[in-house]
Chains A and B, each alone.
Chain A
Amino acid sequence: MSHELMWLLVAIPAVSAAILLLGGKATNGWGHLLGTAAPLASFVCGVLLFFQMQGLDGEERSETIKLFEWFSVGSIQVDVTLLIDQLSILFVLLITGVGSLIHIYSIGYMAHDARRRRFFGYLNLFIASMLLLVLAADYLVVFVGWEGVGLASYLLIGFWQHKHSAATAAKKAFVVNRVGDIGLSLAVMSMWALFGSSAFTTVNAGVEGVSSTWGTLLGLMLLLAACGKSAQVPLQSWLLDAMEGPTPVSALIHAATMVTAGVYLVVRSHAIYEVTDAASTAVVIVGTVTALVGAIIGCAKDDIKKALAGSTMSQIGYMMLAAGLGPAGYVFAIFHLLTHGFFKANMFLGAGSVMHGMNDDVNMRHYGGLAKYMKVTFATFAFGYLAILGIPPFAGFFSKDKIIEAAFADNLVIGLCALLGAGITAFYMTRLMLMTFFGEKRWEKDVHPHESPAVMTGPLVVLAALSLGGGALYFAGHWIVEWLEPVVGHEEHHPPVSALVMTLITLAVVAVGIVIAVVLYRRDIPREAPVQVSPVTTFARRDVYGDALNEAVLMRPGQYLTRTLVWLDNRGVDGLVNGLAALFGGLSGRLRRFQTGFVRSYALSMVFGAAFVVVALLAVRLS
């Protein structure tokens, strides 16, 4: 497959989405099949492109095609240009590969939903937008994809819109994302102002020459965008609510792909972050804080999906941290992004499978001892569990270990935070495993846990295998480092102690986390969440007071502002408008009276008019 055809990657799911969404009920019967075939076709294209790339040298693997000129205004010209290189092909494979598995899984998961066809239409829309996002060669086109995935995310979080909580969650996600999007649009406008273009090549070439202030500002704007899309502190609050969406959505969009777009953006903009230490440091701090906050939130949630969502935030925090470290971390940010895509999608789909068997109950306090009843789900979930903990030889071990190493090499405090995060991760994931699959059964009599159909467990098995084998990308001769180096660059980091010692320390911390969880959760777990809890638990349960903070700092002042503006609008603007309307209306009513209907008065008005014309002519001449 020629790289000239890379537009097909985006076009296939886009066309499929259009057919499904515009075709209406006529496509109900086969909509889910078309919807699944589209990402599979894109995946096949992606694989072909990937293997074709293997045959080329490192520098030649990057290919750009110009599809068409989008618009040209004055000196600003924006072309829709696609770029496929070592970085974007990995994303293409992740998005279409994991995406296809999740589509297949959804056939089973959504089998009883009357609006399944529409669901697949939205999923295809998401795939198309996400591919456009990672294939675009111009920040403005990235923005189009960025908004597209935001739209798809909104539509899918609120897919069960009859539930008030889902509708509210969708709205919240949309609003919070909008805050981040302001960052990206400001960045694009600044790029036009600074470089006259927002194409990657122009920006990368021009950024060397800008002042450090502008470099930092650009970096911070892009970081704001990344925070919104990737649910990083301080824009993290939407992700937990986003779990109201169907579980495949949580797996695909809110775990594996869309939420990692922020990491992609930072890595893709490495040229900008290379000229600004301040913005890079901000990225590291945001990543570290989120890694800890997410992990803390994950500890206190009884809702299995929210616990996983906290975990997602935390893991993306790790990626962000790595991305902020510069060339030492870019490769590992992407590496962890890929392995996280595998094991987190795996666990989300596993959680979906559990819910499927438990009448859609998400409260882990109502689970317990499910390992016996859902053997495949349990086994595959365990693979994901071991991967996220970073137990060798699972995929997460290689990727996370490298990030912690790089963090220590950069700064001791950051390194310690990353290490602590790994320990907390071990704690809450063990807690989740124990509450769900072990211990006494705590469900009601009318619940009959059962294994999910093959169409759902099949993807689980594939993802479990990837959770185990994904590490091969690194340990097979550091393949991913060599692969990405031409695009993002790489430099070896030198941790204060040897890599082996680092690994052992990390594993020890993880073991401590596991042990604490086992000690705490081996005993009986009450069906109802205890009310009398320590302030620390309350702190974690209330999402680290993220919502309270937003309400106090943003929502209430915002409400006061809008109230004031409404008052001004009613009194001032409306008064002016209505007054003007009354003035013209009155004038019109008076002028209208000249139209008497009598020819004699019309003729008289013409005589006056003629007199006026002649007088005006004379007046001009005489003046």
Chain B
Amino acid sequence: MSAVLMTQVLPLADFVAPKIEYNELAPLLVVFGAACVGVLAEAFLPRQLRHVAQVALALVGLVVAAVLTVLLMVDDKKLIAAQGAISVDGPALFTWITLLTLTVISVLLFAERSVDGGLSAFAGQAAAVPGSEAEREGTAAKVEHTEVFPLTLFAVGGMMLFASANDLLIMFVALEVFSLPLYLLCGLARRRRLISQEAAMKYFLLGAFASAFLLYGIALLYGYAGTMSLGGISDALATKTSGDAMLLAGTGLIAVGLLFKVGAVPFHSWTPDVYQGAPTPVTGFMAACTKIAAFIGLMRVFYVALGGSRWDWAPMMWIVAILTMVVGSIVALTQTDVKRMLAYSSIAHAGFLLTAFVGLSQAGSGVTNGITSTQAVLFYLVCYAFPTIGAFALVTLVRDAGGEATHLSRWAGLGKKSPLLAGIFAFFLLGFAGIPLTAGFTGKWAVFTAAWTGGAWPLVVVAVLCSLVAAFFYVRVIVLMFFSDLPADAPDVALPGWQTTTAVALGLAATVVLGVVPGPVLALASRAGEFIR
């Protein structure tokens, strides 16, 4: 009896060990492994060693993962790994290497301690009540949360997994793996802690809300297709004739969850509050990396699993794209905080990316030559992400007694105080505005071309008009910096350490190089090809 029960419960004879392609998944495993080691280091290393050890560990882990990714790219690997759960294909590898590079820059920014008198941007003790004696003591003792580095590694690992998930359940797990560390990181600002904690709270609540939508959508799609694998859903679309209500509702709810992460209107309302409240290096990391992971995940689900029903969801996505561009660029006009302005700018950029996404310029849909939507989005993300981190890195340098001076009125006349900083920031802004010979221009050119060839020319028209509106608020900051008088109580410009300098320099280099000679990166994006299933 019990033996029978045992075999029923544990059919050992039938058990086949899952086949794991360790070679292909090595970058993921290295990042997660380094994160786990980081947790251990946090527990066992003495305090004074932790900072150096954690930074070194994070950087080594990221660089090793990046090297492994490059090796995979050289081999041009394309396969579905881990029993159909993870697809290691061109877009995934391209996303991995981009994420890893950006995270290296972010980790450098996290480790920067010279702009705020030897202290990092993170709270000494997150648990200490803001303004309390405990906080002051912690600050005096220069304690800090070195946990941010393992958290970052977990976040980036989750993002990599998210971008390559071939199964809705894995995708959900990955989403949570990268979201939870981000919620924490958002609440860890050293200065203006209340607004930081508020941001973390909002992000968490709304994130959980969005996750619920996503999960419900996944359940509905499972109900429709009987499987969670993207390929399986695609097959079901091709064969099934009934259950369309579940399909449509599932598609809609999944779209809500993913568009939330992308920061598309009307699921964008968290973005400005969180971008403003989070420690600025974390904002840069989120603005660059989350956007990338979310976009690739969105495209993977909608292209691979739901590509067959694209005529159902494309009109809805058109409207979302238009709303995102219009609201992002118009509301940015009246922003008075540089971080909030950049947040709305990132919303507008999400809209531009969506044009390529819904342009559906795909090899399979009749587009034989020219740039495909996937390639255009990959390229745009690179063009957008590097300057974004650089711009947020510059924001950390303009400081007064209360920390960063992010109110735009405080940036008046900055060009007279620090022509270099203001000049580079102006250049980034011109890049975001899409002035030729910057990365912003080539990126926009790529996504608009993809959208146009895919037939979404009305979207391109709206996008160009929105770029025009957006140019206004970018140039407004430039005018403010260079053509206003410097007030007597102007904020100081901190001397950056090599970490911040590196982040800014890389952003600057990317803006120039991708603007002047975009060929190599475009070739890399086009080599990445399409998603596999």
Contact = CB atoms under 8 A, between A and B. Distances in A.
Nearest to A608: B266
A592 B272 CA distance: 11
A258 B248 CA distance: 77
B231 to A, nearest CB: 22
B65 interface: no
A612 B319 CA distance: 10
B256 A599 contact: no
B267 interface: yes
A595 B316 CA distance: 23
A621 B244 contact: yes
B365 interface: no
B427 interface: no
A504 interface: no
A477 interface: no
Contacts of A608: 266
A599 B205 CA distance: 8
Interface stretch (A12-20, A125-133, A580-588): A580-588
B312 A621 contact: yes
A606 B266 contact: yes
B255 A599 contact: no
Contacts of B269: 594-595, 601-602, 605-606
Sorting the interface of chain B by its residue count into under 10, 10 to 19, 20 to 34 or 35 or more gives: 35 or more
A610 B252 contact: yes
A609 interface: yes
A614 B248 contact: yes
Contacts of A497: none
A613 B273 contact: no
Given A584-B333, A603-B206, A617 B312 contact: yes
Interface string B347-380: 0000000000000000000000000000000000
A615 to B, nearest CB: 8
Contacts of B327: 591
Contacts of B206: 599, 602-603, 606
B330 A588 contact: yes
Contacts of A552: none
Interface residues of A, number: 28
A537 B312 CA distance: 89
Q: Which of B270, B311, B316, B327 has the most CB of A within 10 A?
A: B316
A597 interface: yes
Interface in B241-300: 244, 248-249, 251-253, 255-256, 259-260, 266-267, 269-270, 272-273
A585 B334 contact: yes
Interface in B396-453: none
B331 A610 contact: no
A588 B331 contact: yes
A591 B266 CA distance: 12
B313 A617 contact: yes
B205 A595 contact: no
A618 interface: yes
Contacts of B319: 616
A531 interface: no
A610 B209 CA distance: 11
Contact of A585 (B202, B210, B312, B333): B333
Interface in B311-335: 311-313, 315-316, 319-320, 327, 330-334
30 contacts: A585-B333, A587-B330, A588-B331, A588-B334, A589-B334, A591-B327, A591-B330, A594-B269, A595-B269, A595-B272, A599-B201, A599-B206, A602-B270, A605-B269, A606-B209, A606-B213, A606-B267, A609-B267, A610-B213, A610-B256, A612-B266, A613-B256, A613-B320, A614-B248, A614-B252, A616-B316, A617-B248, A617-B252, A620-B315, A621-B244
Interface of A: 581, 584-585, 587-589, 591-592, 594-595, 597, 599, 601-603, 605-606, 608-610, 612-614, 616-618, 620-621
9 cross-chain pairs, A with B, having the tightest CB-CB distances, nearest first: A609-B266, A616-B316, A614-B252, A602-B269, A588-B333, A588-B334, A613-B252, A610-B256, A617-B248
Interface of B: 201-202, 205-206, 209-210, 213, 244, 248-249, 251-253, 255-256, 259-260, 266-267, 269-270, 272-273, 311-313, 315-316, 319-320, 327, 330-334, 469, 472
Given A613-B316, A617-B251, A621-B248, 5 more contacts: A588-B330, A595-B269, A599-B205, A599-B206, A609-B266
